[in-house]
Chains A and B, each alone.
Chain A
Amino acid sequence: MRRELEQIEIPGEHVARERTWHVVESAFSERQPVPRSSHWPRAAAIAVALAALLAAVASPPGQAVLDEIREVVGVERAQPALFSLPAPGRLLVASDAGVWVVQRDGAKRLLGDYREASWSPFGRFVVAARENELAAVEPDGNVRWTLARRDVRFPRWTGSETDTRVAYVDRTGIRIVAGDGSGDRLLVPRARWPLAWRPGVAFQLAYADRRGRVVLVDAETGRVLWRSRPDGTVVELEWSSNGRRLAARRALAVDDVAVYTWRGALYTGFRVRRGTVTAAATRPGSSARAVAVDGDGQSRLFVTGVPGSLLSGPGAFEDLAWSPEGQWLAVGWPAADQWVFVQDDGKRIRAVSNVSEQFRSRSFPRIEGWCCAP
């Protein structure tokens, strides 16, 4: 039996092995080996450290030290609450409590216990997902329609004033439904990766397949318009606002960020020599990009055309979101429990602390989008 099983021919076995080795070797080279010591001293060290920490917290001077540590991580003089946004528009935020809409004056409304969401093209609606439901919700919380599906992820809305589509992923693959909740259908089976509608063009959807290729498909006909070459794993896709460039942020890849033309040609790509790209966002109205890079535990924020980094600090920067007019950038900074709003030239910075508490969340809230003013 064993000989029979070992003699079965598997298509592409050799190529698969070398392809896998390339990925595994790349992942390994980015890993930081942990020096090993014997078990006893490590356990003892942990116990001693815990005891010291408990003792420190128990004493008033110790508490002061911890407070000081918290304060040095983050932007000084951060506002204690989100009193207002620095630019017009509304934020969409996902926290443990659900999805929230934040108005420019800082007013917050919890739309429901959804786990992710995105804006409709003109900001009139939000498409939100909870585990087994897709929902179209007005920003005041009024639910327009819902669709029961299993394990819903990546809801994305596109279209014109009169004709819209929502793409999302569930257990079956990528699905499409009209903006009024009708005509739900499967577009790409077995896909569970990021999606991005091409702006300004009728219903072209970019997604990443399980081989790490970026694919552009006509969502109306199902016709594949192009596929990129495979490279690592695509973790995020984003079109420029004019629909001419598509940026793919990747992991374990030759390029950390690859930018494609709308025809599928590789326009440019770059790899960070020491560090990881933790977030990227294309500025509205241009092809400039903001990129957050985490290297050796220190993060830096860069914007195309602006010399040097606009922001740096310990821990990773996440969830970059441009304001609708493209002059301010919102940066999530979990290590500091802050959101930092950075002007496009880096000359002005505003920070808000206690973000998790404000959104009733134990994990750090995600910025899902910064959309147009009502």
Chain B
Amino acid sequence: MRTGRDERAHVRGAQRGSVSDLEALFRAHWQRAFRAAYLVTHDAGAAEDIAQESFLAAIRALDRFDRRRPFGPWLHRIVVNRAIDWTRATRLRSEVELSESLPAPDQPAEAGSEVLAALAALSPEHRAVVVMRYLLELTPGEIAEALGIPRGTVNSRLRRGLDALGDEL
């Protein structure tokens, strides 16, 4: 289990230019970042792009990063917000697309999971809250801060999300 002290050391090392410290941060956080993006977007290609862009954004901001803060929540906040934006934009596009178009390249295979199917029935905002709470293990207060919404809204979305998941499952 990675300790906070280890992580701070890796952040410090990465800030000084150490590739091995950056790789340690990457290996520790990429999978959750990618998975969170996938569970919100339900698109493996988009999830890869979002996780990649989020790490690149983190690198660009590395020199300004406050080492006293944990790296993971900071990264996950970027990931989830980008995933919500992507899902909203895709939903908007699907309403206005014309029929005469090429099929989208590289459609992901069906994951076939009941949980995944149940999540798909939720709005991206509800999916994001469920993913942040149960995959990324953020508190409702942290979720509220990350998404810029009141804590009460987080709780109500969690409740409605879990109710809907329960019905589907």
Contact = CB atoms under 8 A, between A and B. Distances in A.
| Chain B interface residue bracket vs A | 35 or more
Given A2-B135, A2-B137, A27-B59, A186 B98 contact: yes
A21 B106 contact: no
Contacts, number: 133
A202 B113 CA distance: 46
Contact of B34 (A7, A17, A31, A173): A17
Interface string B30-55: 11001100110000110111011001
A298 to B, nearest CB: 21
A187 B106 CA distance: 17
A25 B23 contact: yes
B92 interface: yes
A296 interface: no
B63 interface: yes
B108 to A, nearest CB: 5
B35 A5 contact: yes
Contacts of A19: 48
Contacts of A224: 102
B120 to A, nearest CB: 12
A34 B63 contact: yes
Contact of A33 (B15, B90, B111, B134): B15
A28 B34 contact: no
A5 B26 contact: no
Contact of A11 (B14, B63, B109, B131): B109
A36 interface: yes
B97 A186 contact: yes
A189 interface: yes
A359 to B, nearest CB: 30
A198 B1 CA distance: 55
A177 interface: no
A210 interface: yes
Contacts of A23: 52, 56
Interface string B92-105: 11001110111011
Interface in B1-44: 14-17, 19, 22-23, 26, 30-31, 34-35, 38-39, 44
Contact of A189 (B30, B104, B109): B104
A217 B26 CA distance: 36
Contacts of A6: 35, 135
A203 to B, nearest CB: 14
B94 to A, nearest CB: 9
Nearest to A13: B34
Interface residues of A, number: 44
A33 B17 contact: yes
Contacts of A25: 19, 22-23
B150 to A, nearest CB: 23
Nearest to B109: A11
A5 B96 CA distance: 32
A10 B44 contact: yes
A15 B98 CA distance: 33
Contacts of A186: 97-98, 100-101
B146 interface: no
Given A12-B108, A25-B22, A33-B16, 8 more contacts: A2-B134, A9-B111, A10-B34, A21-B30, A23-B56, A28-B22, A185-B98, A211-B106
Interface of B: 14-17, 19, 22-23, 26, 30-31, 34-35, 38-39, 44-45, 47-49, 51-52, 55-56, 59-60, 62-63, 89-90, 92-93, 96-98, 100-102, 104-106, 108-109, 111-113, 115-116, 130-131, 134-135, 137
13 contacts: A6-B35, A10-B34, A10-B111, A16-B47, A21-B23, A23-B52, A24-B55, A24-B59, A27-B59, A33-B63, A36-B15, A171-B96, A217-B102
Closest 9 CB pairs of A and B: A33-B17, A16-B48, A1-B134, A34-B63, A186-B98, A5-B135, A20-B52, A11-B109, A4-B115
